[in-house]
Structure 1
């Protein structure tokens, strides 16, 4: 057994996702008891709004939990057991540039894929490493559960720069997709699914899926995918219509075509950006991208609700909801704290998990997690199609990290040129030069 209760630091205290994660921690106290929650952010004004609203909520709903927020690293990371990191260096203003600059040149603009993901990665590496160093300085026995994007590049940077650190890199996108697959098959809880999966973050495939009794669910899921992609269960009209942003509708629908490229596997939705980049550009509005959608939607909604709570002095009847996908984080923390030996998709050094692939690559594969960390579940030999795509993409990710470490313009140009989303070295250089100008103060100086 682990401790009686745990101290948690949320790094990225000013994020729009923070209230949902905080409420999730409260809801899951029966299996993951928390005695202290600390928000940490280096943007004091932004965090202040989120934290003051959450402080009111905690006071009314969980007064026994010690809650605080700070911009001081020593205060934030001293005495913590887990650091939940979801930072966004440059906020949505820089995400908007990540998306709009490539679109100027007819290349897709996306948060984690293609040139936008590379730009974001160059900003994120330093921020994540900084937080990891704070944790190790002030609480060397703590675990950092990192879901800061772009997770693939961040994970590679951690492998290179902090290979012995207690950090686990995770992503909630497969969780959402497994929720959808469970719905397709009438399975109550995605945690009942047993599966095989291989790939890189935002770049992978399910090769086997079973229910808890060992029944093969792949034929049923394939029938749904071939007909509707991931749209089953999402109602867009009528009294039960769900609020799904237009960009996600495109993504869930396009999964049908992504699946058709290799109907032996079930794809991660992000593969649309690599297999159908022309479609993504055609359906993008270069004046109003996903960043604008978020700023006009979730950003205004969350900060508006936080301010309303502060002004009212009470969180009664508030619009905060626990983040259902964030239960994955609690599941993982429980496994580490209580040695539950459960299965999770993690981003880890390959080291033979995918037999015919670079052993140093940061792959996303199922792992068994306990108090001593994780053990990879071998996925064997993968098909040539996936192997070829993964080799190209992992080289992009490695070149980005090398460019950051060495301050190398040449290697970052190579990374952009090698991306499957970019048509030529000429276009790659045009985009890179614009991104360098936009990211002054965020990237290392390149030479």
Structure 2
């Protein structure tokens, strides 16, 4: 089994150490020759990288090389896989993404509604630059992107690189939900076979089976309705915000019992309720700054100081394990099924062919081979078409530098649906993002 050379872009992320533990946990599945960290912020990357040196020495001694850099050529040359996890503007801009909508009485969330619009408009330029740099130094590398908002990023990359078949956009949220399904069923997530359709952060599980073909969907539904639903992934299981989010699945399932919903649908189906429960002075971004950010910084410092992993709580999470399994299926032609984002091209027959949809696909060394979904019901179709139009108009606005298209996008979004309010929020976002947005005329 060939050992791979992996580059992590955005390596200063608070998720990186968890990703490293996922690579350790899955090293028999996805063996590595080298790992390279790349980040434009050297100060942020360095402590994570130095802590990783300790972790890899103790947990992955067979790894031949580890380095970290801010040099693009050094980062990408020789890479077989590039994992991308950037956050343009950092948590400072994420907090504004959440506060500005909330100050206008609408959902304040990093990937949904106007917050997602702003994050997407910031992300596109950097993502395009990253792909161009990768292709300059590693023309045959696979790029696995999990930068949010994945739907908008995927749409933009499809337009900018229409012939590049080695870019795959992925979200770990369906997998994080499936971890909780697996706990209900008393099995492992990778024992489950999902049937799913939608857009990123906007979809439904239609069926969950085991590998023997037994339909487990009703068992999951009954458990959620009778016993509630809580997160089980290590990264979020003790997080109060995520606990509330998973509880809302029961409400969605009672109101719309046909399919098992993605947790993010709460923002579109119950926008008023989502606004009521938020505190503008303690947004999700602020909770991350005061919580996971400080926790990871403390962990990194402790690993460096101790020069040992002994006595430290280090866990792989589904965020990392899912990415690694996806990469392994591509690298070794395992033909395993994962939920990924791909061009529709008739997969969902009553949605536009050019939509970037999130569906199960068999992952091969030639890329994803998505399974046909067929026609979807009118309710889900109507919701998806509105969300798709918003996402595509957002990307139109970016490429055409169009204020009008941006206004149309936000007016369509279900978290707003009011033109004067959409204009007010757009103007506020433009002012806050003047160092990041293209000039919208």
Q: Report the counterpart of residue 221 of structure 1 in structure 2.
A: 220
Which digits, 9 at most, give the CA deviation of each residue in 1:251-293, with x for residues without a partner? Answer: 1111111112321111000000000001101101011110011
Contact 1:208 1:218 in 2 (8 A): yes
Which digits, 9 at most, give the CA deviation of each residue in 1:135-157, with x for residues without a partner? Answer: 11111111011111100000001
Contact 2:19 2:319 in 1 (8 A): no
Contact 1:228 1:256 in 2 (8 A): no
Matched residue SS, 2:434: coil
**Matching residue within 379, 403, 408 for 1:385:** 379
Distance 2:188 2:241 in 1: 26
Unaligned runs of 5+ in 1: 236-241
Q: Report the counterpart of residue 196 of structure 1 in structure 2.
A: 195
**Matching residue within 269, 272, 281 for 1:278:** 272
Distance 2:390 2:85 in 1: 23
| Match status 1:177 vs 2:177 | yes
Q: Report the counterpart of residue 70 of structure 1 in structure 2.
A: 69
Contact 1:228 1:253 in 2 (8 A): no
Q: Report the counterpart of residue 319 of structure 2 in structure 1.
A: 325
Which digits, 9 at most, give the CA deviation of each residue in 1:402-421, with x for residues without a partner? Answer: 11111111111111110000
Unaligned runs of 5+ in 2: none
Contact 2:109 2:115 in 1 (8 A): yes
| Match status 1:48 vs 2:52 | no
| Match status 1:376 vs 2:370 | yes
Contact 1:198 1:365 in 2 (8 A): yes
Distance 1:334 1:42 in 2: 27
Matched residue SS, 1:119: helix
TM-score calculated relative to the size of structure 2: 0.96
Distance 1:343 1:300 in 2: 36
Distance 2:167 2:14 in 1: 23
Distance 1:414 1:155 in 2: 20
Q: Report the counterpart of residue 13 of structure 2 in structure 1.
A: 15
**C-alpha displacement at 1:218, in angstroms?**
1.5
Contact 1:224 1:232 in 2 (8 A): no
Runs of 4+ in 1 over 4 A off after TM superposition: 232-235
**Matching residue within 299, 303, 312 for 1:309:** 303
Matched residue SS, 1:322: coil
Q: Report the counterpart of residue 291 of structure 2 in structure 1.
A: 297
Counterparts of 1:110-149 in structure 2, within 5 Å, are: 110-149=109-148
Distance 1:388 1:161 in 2: 28
| Match status 1:212 vs 2:196 | no
**C-alpha displacement at 1:329, in angstroms?**
1.2
Between the two proteins, the alignment pairs up a number of residues equal to 438
Counterparts of 1:401-440 in structure 2, within 5 Å, are: 401-440=395-434
**C-alpha displacement at 1:33, in angstroms?**
1.0
Distance 1:134 1:122 in 2: 20
Distance 1:341 1:243 in 2: 30
Matched residue SS, 2:393: helix
**C-alpha displacement at 1:53, in angstroms?**
1.2
Distance 2:179 2:258 in 1: 20
Contact 1:184 1:232 in 2 (8 A): no
CA-based RMSD: 1.7
Distance 1:4 1:423 in 2: 52
TM-score calculated relative to the size of structure 1: 0.95
**C-alpha displacement at 1:232, in angstroms?**
7.9
Distance 1:210 1:29 in 2: 27
Distance 1:234 1:317 in 2: 21
Matched residue SS, 1:37: strand
**C-alpha displacement at 1:444, in angstroms?**
1.0
